[in-house]
Amino acid sequence: MIPTRRRLLSFFITITFTAVFVRHFMSAQPRTIVVGGGLAGLSAAHTLLENGATVLLLDKKPSLGGNSVKASSGINGAGTEAQVKHDIKDTVEDFIKDTTASAGHLARPNLIQALTSNSAPTLAWLSTKFGVDLSLVARLGGHSIPRTHRGKGGAPGWAITSALIKKLEQEPNASIIKSAKVLRLLEESGKVYGVEYESEGVKVEAEGPVIIATGGYAADFSSSGYLTQYRSDLLTLPTTNGDHATGDGHRMATSLSLPAVLCDMDQIQVHPTGFIDPANPDAKTKFLAAEALRGVGGILVDSTGARFVNEIGRRDAVTTKMQDLIGAGKGPIRLILNSEAATELKAHCDFYVAKGLMKKYEGAAALAQEMGVPADRLKKTFEAHGRYARNEETDPFGKTFFHNPTFDPEGPILVALMTPVVHYTMGGIQVDEKARVLHADGSPVPGLFAAGEAIGGVHGQNRLGGSSLLEAVVFGRIAGSSASS
Ligand SMILES: Cc1cc2nc3c(=O)[nH]c(=O)nc-3n(C[C@H](O)[C@H](O)[C@H](O)COP(=O)(O)OP(=O)(O)OC[C@H]3O[C@@H](n4cnc5c(N)ncnc54)[C@H](O)[C@@H]3O)c2cc1C
Ligand SMILES: *[C@@H]1O[C@H](CO)[C@@H](O)[C@H](O)[C@H]1NC(C)=O
């Protein structure tokens, strides 16, 4: 009797141990925590799921999407299917060249290589897996080749991000908790093993490797914020960012006992064209006037009706010229679109007109009257622009690519008031090309990854339009696969 019972007992013990062992070591990957549900966090989450992991995605706002849903110009890719269809020859090398030139002395070749070489496969992933339309291609400032992709429907940021949100919500292995603000990282002997977050007034701990995808700090205007700390000269400007963009991930990563490092924190992109809403000219958050408005042929004039810059030059160059003019009392700056350009961006323009941000005028004289300049002043500006486009004269501001360049002085135009706006933070958490968060000595913080606008260094001193949605997806995917291996 006794030996049999003992044998039975040891049999059960063995079974129990085996079960525990199997559950612990042989089961699917442990859960990974993604902090932030913008495009970077969503891309990381989907990649984790592809690699067999389960995901907990936390976002402090009541809805996902962050600044990603606002993106209005598009996403870059070199050597994409759409470019081939439009007969546009582009290579990763060309994209590297443009990005490196724009990044200037802060260019980091390993990060630029990761961004550009993954671009075409990344766009293919978005179209194939999520059915996102990226069939239209435009040239934005600083690009030598048209490579910024968007679809025929609404704004590209919304189209891409909402497709990823919708699919993630259907994934059984992903849990999404909204209105859950992550407060700090949990660590043990230098290793990150989870987060503490606050949800419905309760503090909760969750365990697993962590991917920070909290976005940038272009709305961190408080007196103890990063803008005050690094760029107090920008505090008076408005921003295009949602109020979530306060650098939370940056603070968590640098609060570790062996802290992560930040880089390039003073590198902040001021976008030249935010809409001044005539009904609310002092609002701190502005609608962005998509760079595509200049890409399709919009021109910029000062208060005298004169052009002053290559409209499709780099953002930093256009901004500097605008700020100089405004400082010299030649503001406000106006953006003017002819009817061909307005038609090409019809969905955008309809929206801006409906919001009261853009106004239609029947010809140059009507606008000149409102501006209080001589009736033929704008007419001269329009005619000169046409001559530059036809190569009869050289544009004094160096514009060489012209799109919809003919402004009929009698024809209808769309006009809007513009201000520079704090738009994007190039600086952030330092990572390597595997999206591992780094200590000051270059060694990775175990268990911690980061992606999207939260990371620094990808764009050096100036980000090219369309490269930030790309950064979100590319580094989100890299972080997802690094965290699951
Ligand atoms: C108006 C506008 C237009 C733009 N247009 C373009 C464009 O055409 N092309 C382009 O490439 N780029 C564009 N950009 C830039 C680009 O949209 C962003 O840089 C990019 O989307 C950032 O993605 P992200 O996932 O890193 O951050 P976000 O999309 O900002 O997401 C961050 C998320 O993290 C959450 N979060 C933050 N802190 C916490 C916390 N403590 N706990 C939990 N959650 C937290 C936030 O609530 C948010 O949902 C534009 C930006 C703006 C504002
Ligand atoms: C979810 O994860 C389990 C293992 O944890 C796996 O067996 C299953 O296939 C996953 N489901 C999906 C839809 O990926």
Q: Is residue 213 part of a domain?
A: yes
Q: Is the beta carbon of 60 within 6 A of some atom in ligand 1?
A: yes
pLDDT at res. 353:
97
Nearest CA owner, ligand 1 atom 37: 214
Nearest CA owner, ligand 2 atom 7: 28
- What CATH number does the domain containing 343 carry? 3.90.700.10
Cis amide linkage into residue 62, ω under 30° from 0? no
What residues flank ligand 2, with Cβ below 6 Å?
Answer: 28, 54, 172-173
Q: In this structure, are 345 and 227 located in the same domain?
A: no
Mutate to test the pocket of ligand 1, among 176, 214, 237, 269 (most ligand atoms within 8 A of CB): 214
Which residues does residue 210 pair with via DSSP β-bridges, in sequence order? Answer: 33, 448
Q: Is residue 17 part of a domain?
A: no
Number of neighbours of residue 316 by Cβ within 10 angstroms: 19
Q: Is the beta carbon of 471 within 6 A of some atom in ligand 1?
A: no
Number of neighbours of residue 119 by Cβ within 10 angstroms: 26
Q: In this structure, are 291 and 178 located in the same domain?
A: no
Q: Is residue 368 part of a domain?
A: yes
Q: In this structure, are 410 and 311 located in the same domain?
A: yes
Residue 223 phi, psi (nearest 5): -70, -20
Q: In this structure, are 97 and 83 located in the same domain?
A: yes
For ligand 2, the distance from its centroid to the CA atom of residue 58, given in whole angstroms, is 20
pLDDT at res. 141:
83
Residue where a domain terminates, one of 386, 404, 421: 421
Q: Is residue 110 part of a domain?
A: yes
CB 72 within 8 A of CB 292: yes
Q: In this structure, are 366 and 478 located in the same domain?
A: no
Q: Is residue 23 part of a domain?
A: no
Domain count, the chain: 2
Separation of CA 445 from chain center: 25
pLDDT at res. 6:
58
Q: In this structure, are 263 and 304 located in the same domain?
A: no
Residue 376 sits at the vertex; the CA angle it makes with 373 and 378, to the nearest 5 degrees, is 70
pLDDT at res. 21:
42
pLDDT at res. 469:
98
Q: In this structure, are 445 and 388 located in the same domain?
A: no
CB 108 within 8 A of CB 460: yes
Q: In this structure, are 377 and 364 located in the same domain?
A: yes
Q: Is residue 458 part of a domain?
A: yes
Residue where a domain terminates, one of 397, 421, 445: 421
Sequence-ordered list of residues with C-beta below 8 angstroms from that of 357, at least 6 positions apart, any chain: 275, 277, 287, 289, 416
Q: In this structure, are 147 and 196 located in the same domain?
A: yes
Q: Is the beta carbon of 456 within 6 A of some atom in ligand 1?
A: no
pLDDT at res. 28:
45
Q: Is residue 376 part of a domain?
A: yes
Q: In this structure, are 414 and 301 located in the same domain?
A: yes
For ligand 2, the distance from its centroid to the CA atom of residue 52, given in whole angstroms, is 7
* CA dihedral (65, 67, 68, 71) positive or negative: positive
> If you ran DSSP here, which 8-state letter would residue 139 be given?
P
**3-state DSSP call for residue 471?**
helix
- What CATH number does the domain containing 444 carry? 3.50.50.60
Beta strands in 190-261 (DSSP E): 191-199, 202-207, 210-212
Residue where a domain terminates, one of 421, 439, 471: 421
Q: Is the beta carbon of 67 within 6 A of some atom in ligand 1?
A: yes
**Tens of pLDDT, residue by residue, the chain (485 residues):** 444 555 554 544 444 444 444 444 444 457 999 999 999 999 999 999 999 999 999 999 999 999 999 998 899 999 999 999 999 999 999 999 999 999 999 999 999 999 999 999 999 999 999 999 999 999 888 899 999 999 988 789 999 999 999 999 999 999 999 999 999 999 999 999 999 999 999 999 999 999 999 999 999 999 999 999 999 999 989 999 999 999 999 999 999 999 999 999 999 999 999 999 999 999 999 999 988 899 899 999 999 999 999 999 988 899 999 999 999 999 999 999 999 999 999 988 999 999 999 999 999 999 999 999 998 999 999 999 999 999 999 999 999 999 999 999 999 999 999 999 999 999 999 999 999 999 999 999 999 999 999 999 999 999 999 999 999 999 999 999 999 98
User: Which DSSP helix (H) or strand (E) runs through 173?
Assistant: none
For ligand 1, the distance from its centroid to the CA atom of residue 157, given in whole angstroms, is 10
Q: In this structure, are 203 and 304 located in the same domain?
A: no
Residue 24 sits at the vertex; the CA angle it makes with 20 and 29, to the nearest 5 degrees, is 150
For ligand 1, the distance from its centroid to the CA atom of residue 58, given in whole angstroms, is 15
Mark out the alpha helices in 297-374 (DSSP H runs). 315-327, 339-344, 346-354, 364-371
**3-state DSSP call for residue 313?**
coil
Q: Is the beta carbon of 46 within 6 A of some atom in ligand 1?
A: no
Q: In this structure, are 403 and 324 located in the same domain?
A: yes
**Catalytically active residues, by annotation:** 271, 294
Q: Is residue 308 part of a domain?
A: yes
> Model confidence over 162-204: pLDDT tens digits?
999 999 999 999 999 999 999 999 999 999 999 999 999 999 9
pLDDT at res. 331:
94
For residue 339, give its domain range. Answer: 270-421
